[in-house]
Amino acid sequence: MLELGQNAPKDGGGADLIKETNEANFMADVVEASREVPVIVDFWAPWCGPCKTLGPNLEAAVQAAGGKVRMVKVNVDENQQIAAQLRIQSIPTVYAFHQGQPVDGFQGNVSQSEVKQFVERVAAQGGDGGIGEALEAAEEMLTNGAAADAAQTFAAILGEDADNAKAFGGMVRAHIAMGELDKAEALLANAHDAVKSAPEVEAARAQLELARQAAEAGPVDDLRARVEANPDDHQSRFDLAQALYANGQTEDAVEQLLELFRRDREWNDEAAKQQLLRIFDALKPGDPIAQKGRRRLSSMIFA
């Protein structure tokens, strides 16, 4: 299971993923361990020809599962009591345990593709290994201002699942929150194909662009005074929206941009519309500010 807030490396390839056990440790290595993550048990013997093919195929598939399932090897010649208790009639025999109980299995050698399907099926019974819970915790940290802790947790999730777009986008947003804009930009520049076009990553990209703009925003009071003195000063209104967003006043920023769009939708190549869409993309899905703003913008466009 993923340890929240810990920058844990991916569990692939470690001794904990694949091990041999005996009668003294079977309960701990298999039954108890399966309450944390599914455990596949390979019953084999040195003289068993098919075992020499099946065993490596199982190990490879377990390694590829990246910690979502573990494997325990039982030499039946050295552990006859276990074999007798589980009524092993022939080898190779493979059992899968989850929550302390056998849940799947097969006898004899099978093809590599069948091994892969079996391991994936068993791994799925264990859920996501706590990743969903860790994502929720990291998002809560970020919301509460603990950006460094959030970044560490997102990193731990990526250690478990390198293709997790939510964690990757969250990592970028955490660095933005810490003011590490160059680091956030570097992460986005090096995003691999599996995540770079995901909505969560696009949202982080939009947030980075807004953060870059916010760094150059002027004082809110001065800009507001200019707008009040001249409501048709579109540049000052646009700058005011940037400054408001930079100060966490997202709804007010949206209001200013909607007013700018209402006054002159073509100004500066539809800058108000583009900025609104950028803000909406940066907000979380279902955010009420984004939903309301999109409806109002649409009503203006199609009026």
The pLDDT score that the predictor gives to residue 9 is 36
Task: Tell me whether residue 170 is in a domain.
Answer: yes
Residues 72 and 91 reside in one and the same domain: yes
Dihedral pair phi/psi, residue 123, rounded to 5°: -60, -35
pTM exceeds cut of 0.75: no
The pLDDT score that the predictor gives to residue 128 is 61
48 assigned to active site: yes
The two beta strands, 18-20 and 70-75, are parallel
**Structural domain boundaries enclosing 56:** 18-125
Residues 30 and 64 reside in one and the same domain: yes
Task: Tell me whether residue 9 is in a domain.
Answer: no
Domain count, the chain: 3
Residues 150 and 187 reside in one and the same domain: yes
Q: Residue 3 and residue 161: Cα distance in Å, rounded?
A: 14
DSSP character at residue 217 = -
Residues 166 and 187 reside in one and the same domain: yes
Residues 117 and 47 reside in one and the same domain: yes
The pLDDT score that the predictor gives to residue 3 is 52
Task: Tell me whether residue 4 is in a domain.
Answer: no
Task: Tell me whether residue 69 is in a domain.
Answer: yes
Please identify which of the residues 37, 41, 48, 240 carries the catalytic annotation: 48
Which of 125, 147, 169 finishes a domain? 125
CATH number, domain containing residue 52:
3.40.30.10
Encoding tokens for residue 69? 């399932």
Task: Tell me whether residue 114 is in a domain.
Answer: yes
* Contact yes or no for 121/104 (Cβ under 8 A): yes
Residues 207 and 228 reside in one and the same domain: no
201 assigned to active site: no
Task: Tell me whether residue 10 is in a domain.
Answer: no
* Contact yes or no for 139/84 (Cβ under 8 A): no
Please identify which of the residues 2, 33, 40, 51 carries the catalytic annotation: 51
The pLDDT score that the predictor gives to residue 6 is 41
CATH number, domain containing residue 152:
1.25.40.10
Which of 77, 94, 125 finishes a domain? 125
**Beta strands per DSSP E along the chain:** 18-20, 39-44, 70-75, 93-98, 101-107
Residues 206 and 254 reside in one and the same domain: no
- One digit per residue, pLDDT tens: the chain, 303 residues? 455 444 333 343 344 789 999 999 999 999 999 988 899 999 999 999 999 999 999 999 998 887 889 999 999 999 999 999 999 989 999 999 998 899 999 999 999 999 999 998 898 887 666 777 888 899 999 999 999 999 999 999 898 788 889 999 999 999 999 999 999 999 999 998 888 889 999 999 999 999 998 888 889 999 999 999 999 999 999 999 999 998 889 999 999 999 999 999 999 999 999 999 999 999 987 899 999 999 999 999 997
